[in-house]
Amino acid sequence: MKNLNIINGFLVLLLLGGLVSCSDDFFDVNESETKPSNMSLPPQQRLMATIDNTTGFGQSRLSREGTVLSYHITERTTYYSRWSWRTVSYAAEQYLYTNALPNTADLIVLGEEYNSPHFSAVGKILRAYLFSMVSDQLGDIIMDDSYDAKNQLILTPELNSQKEAYIGIHKLIDEALLDFDKPNAIDLNVIGTDVMFQGDISKWKKFAWALKARLLNHMTAKESGDFKYDPAAVVAACGKAMSTNADNAKRQFTGEETQNNIYPWSDTEGGDVEGAFDSRADNWSKFFVDNLKDPLLLNNESVPDPRLPLIVQPALDAELYGLTGLDMYQGVPMGTYRENGFNGVKETVDFVAGDINPYTGVVFTEDTKMVMDSTEYFSRGHQYGKPNGLFYTSPNSDWYMITYAECKFIEAEANFRNGDKAAAFAAYKEGIEADMSNMGVDAGDISDYLTHVDNIGAANITLERIMTQKHIATVMNPETWVDLRRVEYDNTFTRLKRPQNLNASIFPISGDEVDGKEVWIRALKYDNRNIERNSANLPDNDDASRFPTRVWWNTPDADDVVDLTN
């Protein structure tokens, strides 16, 4: 996203490697340069920037890893190699701690200073949302020692355990709900900067409860302690969350070439190349596309999903490859994409006038023969549809944070785990209908599809069916990788396979986890720049230490009793 404004310049310099010179009065609370630098503006003038930094520098940046690890997309470059569970660098922390989180801290304090707790409430909800996303990818995070707009900046911050972080996140949500009920001086949307809910406090509250439901549902591995999984509490939180698509927490974009108005995953934002392959994503993954072809898991009696053509484009050259019907929609197998360059197998490809040049995206004006490496031809996506231009990848697409559909699938899972298949099936069906309606699927097509859903019936509802539909409904959301880890990957998703070309020293081909299953990726690395500046407070950060290690909520430990009253 372009030009997200109002960030703390000092923090940027610090975390990007700037040097700090100290003087006698540097750490004086009243004069410290680490104090907020943009606090002269009233909260209503900071609100839009706080929202945009949350979605742009926060969720957008975290989704670059999340959407690949959740098997939604493949990447447009081999530099990151996230699709084969390798990494060069991981900069999401940089964006969160220098852009997104400081804005939430400022908004909280400004709400207090201007006797407008509704702004503080929004700051707390967005702060909780950001902390939850980064903790879900890393585990332990900097939280208590992060910039808070009140105290001098801690130059060598300590990590909070993920357990401690979750306590703090729930506390932020609870405080926000209370703040919304306090007398308030400045209306939240007084100058039109509430670009999420236009000042509707009831919708902000529903967003808070949806986030709480999501976090409570993360505890499915917990068998004891204060964080023991409680499906009834999850269902209760869902009951206070979104009740229609009109309540969806999202940032809307117009697609116009003005500041902050272009959706981050569209072709406009993805690079300078004109043509077919200029988005941040190369192609949709085979797992995701196959799920859209048979989302009800009926196998030979598959019922195609009416959302398929709204998300995935047909192959650019379907006729050349003889692709018709559902076969026109193809996803790339994870781990096979541009791995280690080209494979050296040459083939002559005959293009005719009107075909698309796989290198440039420009239409050939005459018949042309091209000799190219077969992997190169494959990697250019000629057998696949372009990733951009439809519901989730257009300049005017919406950026979804939490939706009504997600809440219904959370509710369905909680009821299923609680043994109530009838309630699970009802919520499952409502979630499907909600997502299709939100995407603009024709009412008749929705009705026909739900008839097939009814044929499954409550007796045949399974966790895989619930999670498959949730996977379809949470495209581009980092939350989906949380789900894959919680349900133990292929233990639940029977179609899911580990990527090819993995680092065998970390992810053995034979597989030798404690339970005898294959080793899957469980967490990401900390930003190497943090290791350079704050190594004393950070754990081992090599690939072998980080990638296979489960985060706290993914571990059924028994020592979870903590004091939740502080």
Beta pairing partners, 565: none
Q: What is the pLDDT of residue 126?
A: 98
Beta pairing partners, 491: none
Q: What is the pLDDT of residue 277?
A: 36
Three-state secondary structure call for residue 249: strand
Structure tokens at 394: 């257009």
Structure tokens at 17: 């490697």
Task: Please give the model's pTM, rounded to 2 decimal places.
Answer: 0.84
Q: Which residues, 6+ apart, have CB-to-CB distance to 541 below 8 Å?
A: 525, 526, 528, 531
Q: What is the pLDDT of residue 501?
A: 73
Structure tokens at 445: 């097509």
Q: What's the distance, Cα to Cα, between the start and end of the chain in Å?
A: 38
Q: Cα–Cα distance between 97 and 522 in angstroms, integer?
A: 22
* Residue 75 contacts residue 281 (beta carbons within 8 Å): yes
Q: Cα–Cα distance between 214 and 402 in angstroms, integer?
A: 9
Q: What is the pLDDT of residue 531?
A: 78
Percent helix, percent strand, percent coil in the chain, to nearest 5? 45, 5, 50
Q: What is the pLDDT of residue 98?
A: 87
Q: What is the pLDDT tens value at each position of the chain, 566 positions in all?
A: 333 444 343 343 333 333 233 333 322 222 323 334 457 899 999 999 999 999 888 888 788 788 888 888 876 444 445 657 776 456 678 788 988 999 999 999 999 999 999 999 999 999 999 999 999 999 999 999 999 999 988 989 999 999 999 999 999 999 999 999 999 999 999 999 999 999 999 999 999 999 999 999 999 999 988 899 999 999 999 999 999 999 999 988 776 666 566 666 665 544 433 333 345 556 788 899 999 999 999 876 678 899 999 999 888 777 776 778 888 888 877 766 443 333 334 456 666 777 666 555 567 788 888 765 444 444 444 567 667 778 887 778 888 999 999 999 999 999 999 999 999 999 999 999 999 999 999 999 999 999 999 999 999 999 999 999 999 999 989 999 999 999 999 999 999 988 877 888 888 876 555 455 688 999 999 988 787 888 899 898 888 889 999 999 999 875 544 433 33
Q: What is the pLDDT of residue 22?
A: 32
Q: Cα–Cα distance between 51 and 61 in angstroms, integer?
A: 14
* Residue 525 contacts residue 90 (beta carbons within 8 Å): yes
Q: Cα–Cα distance between 317 and 382 in angstroms, integer?
A: 6
Q: One-letter amino acid identity for 439?
A: M
Q: What is the pLDDT of residue 257?
A: 66
Q: Cα–Cα distance between 136 and 164 in angstroms, integer?
A: 13
Beta strands in 303-422 (DSSP E): 346-351, 368-373, 399-402
Q: One-letter amino acid identity for 562?
A: V
Q: One-letter amino acid identity for 134?
A: V
Instruction: Report CA-CA distances (Å) from 397 to 111, 243, 255, 389, 439.
Output: 31, 22, 8, 9, 11
* Residue 345 contacts residue 375 (beta carbons within 8 Å): yes
Query: Tokens 């009107």, residue?
Result: 354
DSSP tag of 279: S
Q: What is the pLDDT of residue 74?
A: 75
DSSP tag of 283: E
